[in-house]
């Protein structure tokens, strides 16, 4: 069974159809990329899948379960995590605290126990810190553990979001342009990191403009254009698709 299934998903802003009747399925354990020109609706698609936006029409299911009525937080509980194209960092916290927030779903949330600082809560905080430190090592942020988030460079913040998402131990991870703004060396590292995440059993949906990265890591690729699904298939199939070539290189090239 597909892990994520999107059917007839549509989102209109005023008169603009940012996502128009898009359907696709993501198989567990794969890396599924979503590409398309600027404004094609990729980020809007992520916002619909994660429940940040309410769709105009269509459904999203995870593990066969309809998510339409669920909040973003409820979807997180079912194993969905994402990163943001325009960083959403907790700038009022340190780097490791950002990642510790990612552990939220694995912690007790009792108010009274928290106020009293019961041993259980303290232990959980300690374990969350250890786990967060481990993840920061894994994404190459070991230098930044106790740094204030607002003192970190852009590239490090991109990884910080990935570490925070991984801290929740998701089944499905949606990455919105993880390599944007990174230099070639950093991009290669992100490439390796994404593969490693997928090898670890996390299903990845990847939005990315770096074609080399996309063609390298993707099991399947979905191409959007003006909110519509233009093509879908393996890297090879997509590369040869005349519609895709036309959309990317302009009419003359086809």
Ligand X SMILES: Nc1ncnc2c1ncn2[C@@H]1O[C@H](COP(=O)(O)OP(=O)(O)OP(=O)(O)O)[C@@H](O)[C@H]1O
Q: Which residues bind ligand X (CB under 6 A)?
A: 13, 16, 18, 36, 38-44, 85
Cα dist. 153→156, 159, 212 in Å? 6, 10, 24
What are the residues facing 13 on neighbouring strands?
A: 16
Distance CA 81, CA 83 (A): 7
Between 180 and 235, name the residue whose CB sits nearer to another protein: 180
User: Got the DSSP string for 82-124?
Assistant: E--SS----TTSBHHHHHHHTTGGGS---HHHHHHT-HHHHHH
Q: Which stretch binds another protein (CB under 8 A): 69-77, 179-187, 218-226, 236-244?
A: 69-77
Pick one of ligand X, Mg ion, another protein, none as the site partner of residue 108 (Cβ within 5 to 8 A by kind): another protein
Q: How far is the CB of 12 from Mg ion (least distance, A)?
A: 17
Pick one of Mg ion, ligand X, another protein, none as the site partner of residue 154 (Cβ within 5 to 8 A by kind): none
CB 197 within 8 A of CB 168: no
Q: How far is the CB of 121 from another protein (least distance, A)?
A: 5
- Given 3-state DSSP classes, what are the helix, strand and coil percentages for the chain, each rounded to the nearest 5? 45, 25, 35
Q: How far is the CB of 193 from ligand X (least distance, A)?
A: 21
Asked if residue 68 binds another protein (CB under 8 A), the reply is no
Between 42 and 103, name the residue whose CB sits nearer to Mg ion: 42
Phi-psi map region of 202: left, alpha, beta (phi>0 left; psi -120 to 50 alpha): beta
- Answer for which of 49, 60, 67, 76 binds another protein (CB under 8 A) is 76
Pick one of another protein, ligand X, Mg ion, none as the site partner of residue 41 (Cβ within 5 to 8 A by kind): ligand X
Distance CA 158, CA 135 (A): 14
Q: How far is the CB of 72 from Mg ion (least distance, A)?
A: 17
Residue 49 is given by DSSP the state H
Distance CA 241, CA 206 (A): 20
Pick one of another protein, ligand X, Mg ion, none as the site partner of residue 160 (Cβ within 5 to 8 A by kind): none
Q: Which stretch binds another protein (CB under 8 A): 24-32, 55-63, 114-122, 233-241?
A: 114-122
What lies within 8 Å, CB to CB, of 213 at 6+ separation is 179, 187, 190, 191
Q: How far is the CB of 174 from ligand X (least distance, A)?
A: 12
Asked if residue 251 binds another protein (CB under 8 A), the reply is no
Distance CA 130, CA 144 (A): 14
Asked if residue 2 binds Mg ion (CB under 5 A), the reply is no
Cα dist. 72→109, 121, 164, 208, 232 in Å? 18, 25, 16, 23, 27
Return residues touching Mg ion (CB under 5 A). 42-43, 85
Return residues touching another protein (CB under 8 A). 50, 52, 71-73, 76-77, 81-82, 84, 88-93, 97, 100-105, 107-111, 113-117, 121-122, 124-125, 128, 146, 164-165, 168
């Amino acid at each position: 069974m597909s892990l994520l299934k999107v059917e007839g998903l549509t989102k209109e802003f005023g008169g603009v159809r940012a996502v128009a009747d898009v359907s696709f399925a993501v198989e567990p354990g794969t890396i599924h990329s979503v590409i398309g020109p600027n404004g094609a609706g990729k980020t809007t698609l992520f916002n619909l899948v994660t429940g940040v936006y309410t769709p105009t029409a269509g459904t999203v299911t995870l593990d066969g379960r309809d998510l339409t009525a669920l909040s973003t937080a409820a979807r997180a509980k079912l194993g969905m995590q994402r990163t943001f194209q325009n960083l959403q960092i907790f700038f009022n916290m340190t780097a490791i605290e950002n990642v510790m927030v990612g552990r939220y779903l694995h912690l007790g949330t009792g108010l009274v126990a928290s106020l009293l600082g019961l041993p259980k809560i303290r232990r959980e905080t300690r374990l969350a810190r250890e786990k967060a430190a481990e993840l920061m090592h894994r994404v190459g942020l070991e230098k930044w553990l106790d740094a204030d988030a607002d003192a970190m460079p852009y590239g490090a913040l991109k990884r910080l979001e990935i570490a925070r998402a991984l801290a929740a131990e998701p089944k499905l991870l949606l990455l919105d342009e993880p390599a944007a703004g990174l230099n070639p060396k950093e991009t290669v590292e992100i490439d390796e990191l994404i593969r490693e995440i997928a090898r670890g059993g996390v299903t990845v949906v990847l939005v990315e403009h770096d074609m080399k990265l996309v063609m390298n890591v993707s099991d399947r690729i979905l191409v959007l254009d003006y909110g519509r699904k233009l093509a879908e298939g393996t890297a090879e199939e997509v590369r040869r698709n005349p519609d895709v070539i036309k959309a990317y290189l302009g009419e003359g090239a086809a």
